């Protein structure tokens, strides 16, 4: 590993400006909401922590796994590789990076305690090569813990140490490790801990010759962490729908492989899970045309569930399809429930 963060590939390849990071994420996640991506990543970062806790491994392995996992899905789309397989692969790799090697079978045993896992050790080995290739065999990771520990060993801010350490742990739920140096993350964790504990560290910041510009950056980092704490209850709640969110991602992937197809049309054709269509309707116009509307697709395929939620989202029952058909469903249809739903809507 490079001895100096500032000369390392971590600094020169894996730290991005906010604008650049947003561009990369927009490119890879154009068919899903930012909140969906955030919830899915939050869910799997929790799984990484749970796995590490069961295995009683050092915090550094867990944190390195967080970083490798983020880097992978910055380059590749969630739609391309199953995170249920990628997160254990990243964990396996992290144990090698941090020289605390674990066997794939022991790792699988730990994961099996938190979920029903359908993959094998062979899948981990194959995906290890995939992850290495995608990351360009670049596995250098620096963490804020080293600087924090050095401060604590000098006898400074003993009362802030544990809280600052926990704040650093929580920072990996955010994209901060892709935006800021470990140095800034350490200072921001102490800054938050000092405010929470009513400890004045301004004179220490002065000794470090912290400029106003750096202090502004520290406050930006602190605000992102504090914003995460505000969002955490909602993220926990949304992550209960992880299966639906991963289905949304799958439909987005399928739509990408079909020219001009919209994910909502595919959902109305195939899906019967109400959570999936509700999530997709958060960011898709229910009247989007692709030769026909999603409501046309629902009615043609007898999908009562999707038709119900489309109408609830103000889908227009009068739009004609490319064949200029005005009736969404004929009166002699084999789907009486749909006919009844549409008749009720027309009366309104």
HEC states along the chain? CCCCHHHCHHHHHCCCCHHHHHHHHHHHCCCCCHHHHHHHHHHHHHHHHHHHHHHCCCHHHHHHHHHHHHHHHHHCCCCCCCHHHHHHHHHHHHHHHCCCCCCHHHHHHHHCCCCCCCCCHHHHHHHHHHHHHHCCCCCCCCCCHHHHHHHHHCCCCHHHHHHHHHHHHHHCCCCHHHCCCHHHHHHHHHHHHHHHHCCCCHHHHHHCCCCHHHHHHHHHHHHHHHHHHHHHHHHHHHHHHHHHHHHHHHHHHHHHHCCCCCHHHHHHHHCCCHHHHHHHCCCCCCCCCCCCCHHHHHHHCCCHHHHHHHHHCCCCCCCCCCCCCCCCCCCCCCCHHHHHHHHHHHHC
Q: How many CB atoms lie within 10 A of CB 84?
A: 16
Per-residue model confidence (pLDDT) at position 181: 97
Per-residue model confidence (pLDDT) at position 250: 81
As averages over each run of 10 residues, the pLDDT of the chain (348 residues) reads 83 96 85 85 97 96 98 90 96 96 94 93 96 95 96 90 97 97 96 94 90 94 96 91 86 70 80 83 84 83 84 82 56 60 62
| pTM of structure | 0.86
Closest among 179, 153, 152 to 163, alpha carbons compared: 152
Per-residue model confidence (pLDDT) at position 129: 95
Per-residue model confidence (pLDDT) at position 332: 45
DSSP secondary structure code for residue 260 in this structure: T
Instruction: Give the domains, in start order, of the chain with CATH numbers.
Output: 5-134 (1.10.472.10), 258-347 (1.25.40.20)
Q: How far apart are CA 12 and CA 248, in angstroms?
A: 34
């Amino acid at each position: 590993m490079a001895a100096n963060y500032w000369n390392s590939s971590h600094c020169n390849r894996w730290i991005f400006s906010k604008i650049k990071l947003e561009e990369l994420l927009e490119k890879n996640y154009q068919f899903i909401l930012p909140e969906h991506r955030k919830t899915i990543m939050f869910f799997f970062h929790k799984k990484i922590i749970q796995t590490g806790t069961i295995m009683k491994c050092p915090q550094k392995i867990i944190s390195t796994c967080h970083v490798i996992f983020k880097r992978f899905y910055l380059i590749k789309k969630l739609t391309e590789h199953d995170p249920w397989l990628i997160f254990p692969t990243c964990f396996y790799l992290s144990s090698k990076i941090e020289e605390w090697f674990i066997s794939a079978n022991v790792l699988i045993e730990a994961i099996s305690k938190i979920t029903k896992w359908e993959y094998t050790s062979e899948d981990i080995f194959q995906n290890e090569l995939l992850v290495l290739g995608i990351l360009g065999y670049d596995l250098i990771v620096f963490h804020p813990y080293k600087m924090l520990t050095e401060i604590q060993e000098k006898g400074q801010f003993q009362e802030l140490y544990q809280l600052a350490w926990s704040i650093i742990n929580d920072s990996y739920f955010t994209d901060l490790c892709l935006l800021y140096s470990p140095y800034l993350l350490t200072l921001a964790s102490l800054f938050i801990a000092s405010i929470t504990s009513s400890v004045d560290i301004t004179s220490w910041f002065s000794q470090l010759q912290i400029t106003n510009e750096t202090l502004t950056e520290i406050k930006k980092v602190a605000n992102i962490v504090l914003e995460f704490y505000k969002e955490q209850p909602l993220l926990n709640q949304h992550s209960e729908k992880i299966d639906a969110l991963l289905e949304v991602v799958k439909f987005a992937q399928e739509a990408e492989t079909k020219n001009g197809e919209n994910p909502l049309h595919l959902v109305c054709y195939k899906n019967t899970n109400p959570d999936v269509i509700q999530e997709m309707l958060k960011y898709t116009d229910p009247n989007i045309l692709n030769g026909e509307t999603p409501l046309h697709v629902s009615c043609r395929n007898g999908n009562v569930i999707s038709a119900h939620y489309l109408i609830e989202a103000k889908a227009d029952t009068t739009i004609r399809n490319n064949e200029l058909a005005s009736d969404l469903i004929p009166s002699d249809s084999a789907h009486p429930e749909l006919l009844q739903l549409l008749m009720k809507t027309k009366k309104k």
